[in-house]
Amino acid sequence: MAVIRKAEKRGMPALSTSSLPDIIFMLLFFFMAVTTMKEVTYKVRISPPSATELQKLENKSLVRYIYVGEPMKEFREQFGSATRIQLNDQFADVTEIENFITMERTAMKEEDQNVMTVSIKADKDTKMGIITDIKQALRRAYALKINYQAGARKSF
């Protein structure tokens, strides 16, 4: 009897795959958690300036972004290498900002409309001329709450 039992013990039992779905789900959740949803695909190259007195941007649904920087390599031929503004997924002109803000604001819920924040995400080498133009456009559009995006740094 003992001899037979020993013989039957040989050979690997089949690996159970019933936990595979769990593992896959885990991976899925993991990636969902760590990667933030991209707001848009960048068409301009942005390396943000750095600062120390930073505040977190809360309530992302109330924030609209304006991207400013030099066009990425693949757009150079078409748009040149001068600093451009990107709104949502398109290159835009300063004159379009006012319209864009108004459109975005009307799309918001009424109680959220006056707490809308406009975040300017600009490359650190941008000239202030274009930023000033954007600021003037935002003032005209009554989007007075703004935020200059910047990364953290310790000190100078």
Partner 1 sequence: MARKLGEINASSMADISFLLLIFFLVTTSMNVSTGLTRRLPPPLPPDQKPQDIDIKKRNIFVVKINSMNQLLVQGEELNIRELKDKAKEFIKNEANDPHLPEKTMKNFDLIGNIEYTKDHVISVQNDVDTQYQAYIDVQNELVAAYNELRNELSQEKFGKKFDELTELQQDEVQTVYPQKISEAEPKNYGGIK
From the list 6, 22, 73, 77, which residue makes contact with partner 1 (rule: CB under 8 A)? Answer: 22
Tell me if 26 contacts partner 1 by CB under 8 A.
Answer: yes
From the list 88, 102, 113, 117, which residue makes contact with partner 1 (rule: CB under 8 A)? Answer: 117
Furthest C-alpha separation in the chain = 93
Residues 48-67 that bind partner 1 (CB under 8 A): 49-57, 60, 63
Residues 137-156 that bind partner 1 (CB under 8 A): 138-140, 142-152, 156
SS3 156: coil
Alpha-carbon span 92 to 115, nearest angstrom? 24
Report the relative pairing of strands 50-51 and 90-92 from DSSP bridges. Answer: unpaired
Tell me if 2 contacts partner 1 by CB under 8 A.
Answer: no
Of the pair 22, 74, the CB lying nearest partner 1 is at 22
Alpha-carbon span 140 to 50, nearest angstrom? 28
Alpha-carbon span 136 to 138, nearest angstrom? 5
Task: Please report, as ranges, the residues that interact with partner 1 according to CB under 8 A.
Answer: 4-5, 8-9, 13-16, 18-19, 22-23, 25-26, 29-30, 33-34, 36, 49-57, 60, 63, 117, 119, 122-129, 131-132, 135-136, 138-140, 142-152, 156
